[in-house]
Chain A
């Protein structure tokens, strides 16, 4: 087994470019997308309300960390939206608002959610004021007080609980792209197994003194190590090159990546067992990697997905649990023991995939 590993690493050192290029592309994409969603998004606002009410509402709205609301004439707001200069515009009225959009995007979704929230708080305060016969300002104050010192806390364990949803627009693309790109790197390494079978290197190993398990372990362990190396490289560039602190969870994240990369190695092994040749494998992996990335929440956070079908599909995709682990630790601040569940699912998937994959490959020989 050592002989396999050392030969493979020799091969890798001779040609490390695939991993390096993959890492660079991944880092570039994650930084670009992370940076573009960092800035506040400008939202033009027109209003039919009286000016002091408009101002009050604008003040509340502008507390958002993601959006910057700008008051303007209704016609100007319309033009901006129509010309595509902004993603959305809002027209404020007394009890509700109109959202003007040209296309539904993740941002418009959040915008709607956010404005709705501000409105319902305003309505809440108004209702309290009317019932308690106190001025509206005081009612708002009470509502805010209540929010800051809640009588009881609800701790939501479910990641998709509406209350617990936090979108970290900097972590999301780093995690998403890392987990996505590593699928290609790992799959490419596992694919070498098919190539070695076709060319006969595999037969030479079978006829040698190596045991069967050594051959599989050598190959798969190597694939794992290369995949893991790539993610560590990417995370390290962000951590030490770009100074991103991962909310102080850098070491935990590296540990949490182990079950994910393992499950991807196993998934690739399953694929090797299922396909007839290398071309099929390559076609399938491109398709599956992209689908898994979409379903598993690598491109956009699962928190904004509402389709039950997609959410159910996500449950069988390893990438979902990989994201859950990374976000769990970095964004939601959970400890590793709290994340045992997704970890064990990944290990379980890995063992099952690998078992079936190796069995299929062995059966093909006879």
Chain B
């Protein structure tokens, strides 16, 4: 449906987006995950024809949109990272305005506004001015404003930044519903991996302008499948035990916090037997051993050596 081909954006000093390739199929929810400054918003701006790429192409149903953006624009709903609303207008007035610029009017406009108000849970507060809304309500309205013309494709740029968990869940559920009930295709940008993991069929991980990994959640996690993350808890931390751990070539990345030791080891090694042996030799009492499946956070750490969130 939508496709980016070698998409690049060079600002004066920074290369914000560097040869990005990605695609969305009809009916998918695709995640674009990356830390602040990764180039997500810039990518989205190019995908939605708001800024022209320095090089590369954006294709909608196999047709380039660079010269002819109208078809994509009409099918597109965009939820910007900033709150793009009139704060001195009420929720209803905002929706009426954003509907009317899509040439909706009269009873049709009225019906869509009511429908969207219900969807985003603001029917009760529709006549209140936006400036009196909580962060979560503003975010919900920001999404609602993109839905009036029933877009086929919804592009959302960090729609849950800085709001309470309840509003966040509401938004995530709403996106899921839109996808399931209206078959809306969604590109969901975030730097929260739980959100992306919860929502998305496929994920692109972006860092410093480049896509560094892509695939389904499981595929991406399999990048780390050759290793286990092992977490053990000891009754008392002893020097000889730590020393013994370090001496083992199959154990890497040892980190100690209080009485908890975290490490990585290859899957083919029987880490349980090895740990019991070492404990016995050094008179250390093991309280627990836990094998953890890697998170997207771990993948990002593995790929870039940095944490996703700063």
Interface residues of A (CB under 8 A from B): 3-4, 7, 10-11, 14-15, 198-201, 203-210, 365-366
Q: Is the Cβ of A11 less than 8 Å from the Cβ of B88?
A: yes
Could you list 10 A-B pairs, sorted by A, with CB under 8 Å?
A: A3-B101, A7-B86, A11-B89, A15-B88, A200-B80, A200-B81, A200-B84, A203-B50, A207-B76, A365-B52
B145 and A204 contacting across the interface, CB-CB below 8 Å: yes
Residue B84 contacts which of A4, A15, A201 (CB distance < 8 angstroms)? Answer: A201
> A40 to chain B: closest CB distance in Å?
50
- B51 sits at the interface (CB 8 A): yes
Nearest-CB residue, chain A, relative to B84: A200
Q: Contact at B86–A209, with CB atoms within 8 Å?
A: no
Residue of B nearest to A12 (CB): B88
A90 and B116 CA atoms in complex are apart in Å by 80
Residue of A nearest to B85 (CB): A201
Residues 58-87 of B, flagged 1 when their CB comes within 8 A of A and 0 if not, give 000000000000000110101011111110
Interface of chain A, helix or strand or loop or mixed? helix
Q: Is the CB of A204 within 8 A of B82?
A: no
- Are A10 and B93 in contact, CB atoms less than 8 angstroms apart? yes
In whole angstroms, what is the CA distance A200 to B78 when docked? Answer: 10
**Chain B residues in contact with chain A, CB under 8 A?**
48-52, 73-74, 76, 78, 80-86, 88-89, 93, 97-98, 100-103, 129, 145-146, 149
A contact residues around B101 at 8 Å (CB)? 3-4, 204-205, 208-210
- Report Cα–Cα, A209/B102, bound state, in Å: 5
Q: Given that A15-B88, A203-B50 are known contacts, is A7 also in contact with B82, CB under 8 Å in the complex?
A: no
Known contacts A207-B48, A207-B73, A201 near B103 by CB under 8 Å: no
- CB pair A209 B103 closer than 8 Å: yes
Q: Please measure, in the bound complex, the distance between the C-alpha atom of A209 and the C-alpha atom of B89, giving whole angstroms.
A: 21
14 further A-B contacts with Cβ under 8 Å, apart from A201-B84, A209-B103, are: A3-B100, A3-B101, A7-B93, A14-B88, A200-B83, A201-B86, A203-B48, A204-B78, A207-B76, A207-B78, A208-B98, A208-B149, A209-B102, A210-B101
Q: Which residues of A contact B74 (CB under 8 A)?
A: 209
Residue from the set B78, B97, B102 with the largest chain A CB neighbour count within 10 Å: B97
Report Cα–Cα, A144/B60, bound state, in Å.
Answer: 88
B85 contact set on A, CB distance < 8 A: 199, 201
Residues on B with beta carbons closer than 8 Å to the beta carbon of A201: 84-86
With known contacts A7-B97, A204-B98, A207-B76, A198–B82 Cβ distance under 8 A? yes
Residues of B within 8 A of A207 (CB): 48-50, 73, 76, 78
Residues from chain B with Cβ under 8 Å of A365 in the complex? 50-52
Q: Are B51 and A366 in contact (CB under 8 A)?
A: yes
Could you tell me the distance in whole angstroms from the C-beta of A76 to the nearest C-beta in chain B?
63
The reply to whether A204 and B84 form a contact with Cβ atoms under 8 Å apart is yes
Bound-state Cα–Cα, A198 to B149, Å: 23
Bound complex: CA A11 to CA B129 (Å)? 11
Q: Which residue of A lies closest to B142 (CB)?
A: A200
Max count, chain B CB within 10 A of own CB: residue among A4, A11, A207, A208? A207
Residues of B within 8 A of A199 (CB): 80, 82-85
Instruction: Tell me the smallest distance from the CB of B68 to a CB of chain A, in Å.
Output: 14
Question: Which chain B residue shows the least CB distance to A207?
Answer: B73
* B contact residues around A210 at 8 Å (CB): 101
Residues A203 and B84 in contact, CB atoms below 8 Å apart: yes
Docked complex Cα distance between A13 and B97 (Å) = 16
CA distance A204 to B149 in the complex (A): 12
Which A residue sits closest to B72, measured CB to CB?
A: A207
Q: How far is the CB of B17 from chain A (nearest CB, A)?
A: 15
The closest CB in chain A to the CB of B101 belongs to A208
B48 in contact with A366 (CB, 8 Å): no
- The reply to whether A203 and B80 form a contact with Cβ atoms under 8 Å apart is yes
Q: Which residues of B contact A3 (CB under 8 A)?
A: 97, 100-101
Interface centre among B73, B80, B86, B102 (most CB of A within 10 A): B86
Q: How far is the CA of A208 from the CA of B149 in the complex (A)?
A: 9
CB neighbours of B48 from chain A (8 A) = 203, 207
- B residues within 8 A CB of A4? 101
| Contact with B78, one of A7, A15, A198, A203 (Cβ below 8 angstroms) | A203
The residues of A that contact B103 with a CB separation of less than 8 Å are: 209
Q: Given the complex of chains A and B, what is the CA–CA distance between A4 and B100 in angstroms?
A: 9
Most chain A CB neighbours (cut-off 10 Å) among B84, B85, B88:
B84
